Amino acid sequence: MAIKFIDELEFEGKRVFLRADLNVPLNDASQITDDTRIKAVLPTIRQIMRKGGRLIVASHLGRPKGKRDDKMSLMPVAECLAELLERQVIMAPDVVSDGVKVVAMQLKDGEILLLENLRFHPGETANDPEFAAKLAEMSEIYVNDAFGSSHRAHASVEALPRMMKIKAAGYLMRKELRYLQEALADPQRPFWAILGGAKVSDKLGVVDNLLAKVDGLIIGGGMAYTFLVAQGFNVGKSLVDQTRITYAKDVLEKAKRKNVQILLPLDHVVATAINEFAETKVVDNQHFPSDRMGVDIGPRTIDIFKNALVGAKTIVWNGPMGVFEQPAFATGTMEIAKAVADSGAVTIVGGGETVSAVKKAGVTDKISHVSTGGGASLELLEGKVLPGVAALES
């Protein structure tokens, strides 16, 4: 894969189209509630500015379905970006128009133009080459630092870079690829993966790909109950994917043949409902009540999972161990977050819920790499090639 990175390019006097992922959460007053994604792209923006580039920044926000919706305007992002950079950010009134093109063409070295929400135009999600060509007319160099959007074959991510002669990946993209591709291609061992979350079907490709790479696999969260049913256990009213029980049996058999250790919960926190008032108790696999559901891994399981990670050299984690959003059901996820952070291994965390969990546990700074792309990181863990990455190849 021959991908250039921004350190290899000169930007002085050139119009640079930067595809960023500025899809930040907004409250009802259109105020940004979490600016993590904006801060993540700042190193790339500063490098292009430092080298005299004339910057055209583009992103989507939400799902306006090809129509203008002022509730999803990037204006709050422009204001936040200007504050963080301590300089003016010109806000375009739309995405592609003669007026926006004129502004782009008149940019001076170090100036920044932020285009309005790309998804206000139907051509973005349709990967329309005509829409991409209009974006290309404004710029001379293309940079993709939107890892979280690069699993989508959208115009600004896939069609546009294929039209550009000079293209590169930004710093955030480089970090994501180095951890999620290169580090996993030749991991330090022992290599453990931790998978959780609600459904087995969401992680079929991840399980299949990791089973060929890891020394051990920990399965918790809702997806664990399908595997427990595959082993013959009753799991009460817990979430079970009935269509994947045979698949779970096959995975367990395949792991045996490959000599890959799979750890499943031995005890559980169970409840009658998922709310803060629900009565809870701890049960083991042999005594799971038929009228309750699993909401977290139990204390014995926490100890076993944590002990398995001692001595690990590489750990990949995607998916919480329970309904951690409720404090009463968060212990398992919080304990695993701390164990991963304290392991001394190369640690890679992906998936929106898992990223939220490590933040909640206060251990983000101790994780080697926290991926910014939920769906994109999952697809890389499946071994897929992302359209936005493939389009950067020379």
Handedness of CA 164, 170, 172, 173 (dihedral sign): positive
Q: How many residues does the chain have?
A: 394
Query: Of the candidates 53, 54, 353, which has an alpha carbon nearest to the alpha carbon of residue 195?
Result: 353
CA atoms within 13 A on the CB side of 215: 14
> Is 375 marked active-site?
yes
Query: What value, to the nearest 5°, has the Cα angle with vertex 277 and ends 196 and 290?
Result: 60
Q: How far apart are CA 391 and CA 154, in angstroms?
A: 11
Catalytic residue among 62, 205, 375, 383: 375
* Omega of the bond leading into 93 within 30 degrees of 0 (cis): no
Q: Sign of torsion, CA 173 176 180 181?
A: positive
220 is catalytic: no
Question: Residue 275: how many CB atoms within 10 A of its CB?
Answer: 11
Q: Which one from 4, 68, 101, 199 is the annotated catalytic residue?
A: 199
CA 372, 366, 375 angle in degrees (round to 5)? 20
228 sits in the region (left: phi over 0; alpha: psi -120 to 50; else beta) called alpha
393 with 2: CB under 8 angstroms? yes
Alpha helices in the chain (DSSP H): 36-50, 75-85, 98-105, 122-125, 129-137, 160-163, 171-177, 184-185, 204-211, 223-230, 245-258, 299-309, 331-341, 352-360, 374-381, 387-390
Catalytic residue chosen out of the listed positions 352, 374, 383, 384: 352
Helix (H, G, I), strand (E, B) or coil at 194: strand
Q: Catalytic residue among 37, 54, 174, 203, which?
A: 37
What does the alpha-carbon distance between residue 70 and residue 365 come to, in Å, rounded to a whole number?
A: 35
Give the residue numbers marked as catalytic: 37, 199, 352, 375
